[in-house]
Chains A and B, each alone.
Chain A
């Protein structure tokens, strides 16, 4: 009877020792893999996911790396990441500058996906959000140089909505206009045709992840003109509004504008002299009459 307890305890000790060894070894492997997994969530900015792709952190859990989307893409846009690519191995992505998304009406890549990695609820390709085009370089864009390149605007599948040409005076020549390609993010699908067809050596317009491309207003911000449109009237009592002075170049006159220095205030605006005095004018020494 005395022989069994030591034997049992030796076996137990061996078991505990072996288990501890395994937990340590495999735990280290797990830690390494976990850190690698965290790294892999950082998708490089120029690698775009197929239409309907979940946000990156969800995508890597839902995608089973089968490549069906790659196979059913009729334009060979998509590819599966090779181990050396900076994208999680085996996941689909595309590079707009190589082959952009052609925005098929039937979205075959989404239909082929056996998981929810590509959202099957996406049935209108115009609602896709693969990224947002950004005219990132104002110094080399030909339209910014005053030319009429317009290529990104012309190739845009959502032309006049996602990209418009906004006319501004060309201050360099002083007599011409510039037509600046302007992206409207609510319509841009991130297909990348603009980036693909930019005629420069390096594209001046690029599709970026919305997270990189977009700012975000404070949650409490209200745009007065929109609120006014929504409500049908101004949200504040306009009769109590105080008009701050317009600052005009010396000597210039703008009828109808309040300019305490011009001497035409009361008559033009029908304000009482008392009120005028309470409105602060330019600080002494800054503009105004000497």
Chain B
């Protein structure tokens, strides 16, 4: 296997400019978020300290805070069943939260499969694996629609029969069984078969959360896009690279700097790997549309 030694590693410029920590700030925070959520769930069964009971489908924190996965609840609803009061409150809280911070925040800050597919993506980059088959990023919406229709037809919460996200998360808390094989399959699929295949093209959970946060106010903005030196690191590192272009390159087309695409996961890796600090977290409303072709100078925030 040819080592891509000639190729510059993603984020090398950013590490030079900001130091390793500065170039991995959001990644570290994201891993901390993912791992501490997992730890909160696991500390109960492992150490008998019951802060959170349940799993990502429904959890009950400190016997006060219910959280329900709205996608699972929706499938159950399609199958003709309405949750009890706590379950409904849980749906409301989760929907409100992800509506505010961005639906796919679930994917990049909570979902345990994200670490698996990120690892596959990282290894893919290190090994220089290329030329894999591809599938439209819209496939997930078709699968999402299918799971809802088929839940209604079969009367079963359909995606939960095979959902690798809940299999892994539930498995880590309640006993893995053969769920590790499903997780390994996802890893190998992303590594050898399809770049960002699972999270970026197939997973209906991500598709659902993407739609849920379509109008979310918390967004990443390429507010200093005029400083972009076209190093392409953000495109390389982004799990949904198609979301960046309109915002980053839209200055001449009268498009504002905020990334509005629903599939941006607010993971913040673009902020990390940019040596010019083009990106930052901001609000959807703070989206000055450039006038004419010159455009306004991006205001320092």
Within 8 A of B (CB), among A22-73: 22-23, 25-27, 29-30, 33-34, 36-38, 40-41, 57-58, 60-68, 70-72
Does B49 touch A at the CB level, under 8 Å? Answer: no
Given contacts A71-B53, A80-B170, contact A61 B81 (CB under 8 A): yes
Contact partner of B161 among A23, A40, A79, A112, CB < 8 A? Answer: A40
- What are the interface flags for A230-255 relative to B under an 8 Å C-beta threshold, 1 for contact and 0 otherwise? 00000000000000000000000000
- What are the interface flags for B131-165 relative to A under an 8 Å C-beta threshold, 1 for contact and 0 otherwise? 00000101100110111011101111111111000
Q: Which of B13-21, B55-63, B219-227 makes up part of the contact surface?
A: B55-63
- Assess whether B146 is in contact with A88, with CB atoms less than 8 Å apart: no
- Assess whether B161 is in contact with A36, with CB atoms less than 8 Å apart: yes
Does A84 touch B at the CB level, under 8 Å? Answer: yes
- Assess whether A115 is in contact with B81, with CB atoms less than 8 Å apart: yes
Contact partner of A37 among B53, B72, B161, CB < 8 A? Answer: B161
B57, B153, B176 pick with most chain A CB within 10 angstroms: B57
Contacts of B59 in A (CB 8 A): 66
A-B contact count (CB 8 A): 155
Bound Cα distance from A90 to B175, whole angstroms: 10
Contacts of A137 in B (CB 8 A): none
Does B68 touch A at the CB level, under 8 Å? Answer: yes
Contact partner of B174 among A67, A115, A120, CB < 8 A? Answer: A67
- Assess whether A62 is in contact with B81, with CB atoms less than 8 Å apart: yes
Contacts of B139 in A (CB 8 A): 22, 25-26
- A12 to nearest B CB, angstroms? 17
- Assess whether B84 is in contact with A120, with CB atoms less than 8 Å apart: yes
Does B295 touch A at the CB level, under 8 Å? Answer: no
Nearest neighbor of B175 in chain A, beta-carbon distance: A82
Contact partner of A114 among B58, B147, B155, B161, CB < 8 A? Answer: B58
Contacts of A29 in B (CB 8 A): 143, 146
24 A-B contact pairs sorted by A residue (CB < 8 Å): A33-B158, A34-B153, A34-B154, A37-B156, A61-B155, A61-B156, A64-B57, A64-B58, A64-B72, A64-B76, A64-B83, A65-B72, A65-B160, A66-B58, A67-B174, A68-B58, A80-B174, A83-B179, A83-B182, A88-B161, A90-B160, A113-B84, A115-B81, A116-B84
Q: Could you tell me which B residues sit within 8 Å of A by CB distance?
A: 44, 50, 53-55, 57-60, 66, 68-69, 72-73, 76, 79-84, 86-87, 90, 136, 138-139, 142-143, 145-147, 149-151, 153-162, 166-167, 170-171, 173-179, 181-182
Complex A-B, nearest 4 residue pairs according to Cβ-Cβ distance, in ascending order: A82-B177, A61-B79, A114-B87, A66-B58
